[in-house]
Amino acid sequence: MIFIRTILPADNPAIASIIRDTLTEFGANKPGTAYYDKATDEMYSSFQLPGSRYHVGLIDDHIAGGGGIYPSAGLPQGTCELVKMYLTPMARGKGLGKQLIERSLFFARDYGYEQVYIETMPELQKAMAIYEKFGFHYLDAPMGNTGHHGCSIWMLKKI
């Protein structure tokens, strides 16, 4: 059974592990990515900023992934970022990722954002196909100042 809730302080180690394990699995554990991001270890406190929300997905009461919305620095007015969307291998293909994205987009729209931005990398090609299905389109250059210089693919969706 899938259950989604907002992040709790006790979730920090599990979410950090899922993020780093996934990046390692796909060969994307390089500088300029969430792998080395200090916020990866402090997800709960990072998402206490107004306009942010991190959702944790559980399958059969076990943390299986997460994803959220963040008002990243330097983004245009009315734009937020879909961030740190990662799932364990056993959670993929079960609809958890779709539900996490839907919940994040709902929060963004409800909060008053007009656009959602994504930064990703070629190693995470399967995720890009899912983002395309949600109506994200590719950009030629990055937006804002996220500090993730290891990401070379940028996407945007109007909501």
The pLDDT tens digits of the residues spanning 19-70 come to 999 999 999 998 888 899 888 999 999 999 999 999 999 999 999 999 999 9
pLDDT at 32: 83
Task: Kindly report the CATH class assigned to 2-158.
Answer: alpha beta
Determine the Cα–Cα distance for residues 46 and 145; give it in Å rounded to an integer: 16
The length of the chain is 159
Q: Which of 71, 68, 51, 74 is nearest to 143 (CA)?
A: 74
Over the stretch 76-110, which tens digit does the pLDDT of each residue have?
999 999 999 999 999 999 999 999 999 999 999 99
Residue 121: what residue type?
M
pTM: 0.93
Over the stretch 121-151, which tens digit does the pLDDT of each residue have?
888 888 899 999 999 999 999 997 776 677 8
Beta bridge partners of 59: 2, 62
Q: Which residues, 6 or more positions from 100, have their beta carbon under 8 angstroms from its beta carbon?
A: 4, 55, 57, 65, 66, 67, 85
Residue with tokens 């997460």: 66
Calculate the average pLDDT of the chain: 94
Q: Which residues, 6 or more positions from 153, have their beta carbon under 8 angstroms from its beta carbon?
A: 119, 120, 121, 122, 128, 138
CA distances from 153 to 90, 118, 134, 143 (A): 26, 8, 16, 11
Q: Which of 95, 151, 78 is nearest to 118 (CA)?
A: 151
pLDDT at 148: 67
Q: Which residues, 6 or more positions from 109, have their beta carbon under 8 angstroms from its beta carbon?
A: 159
Residue with tokens 């940028």: 154
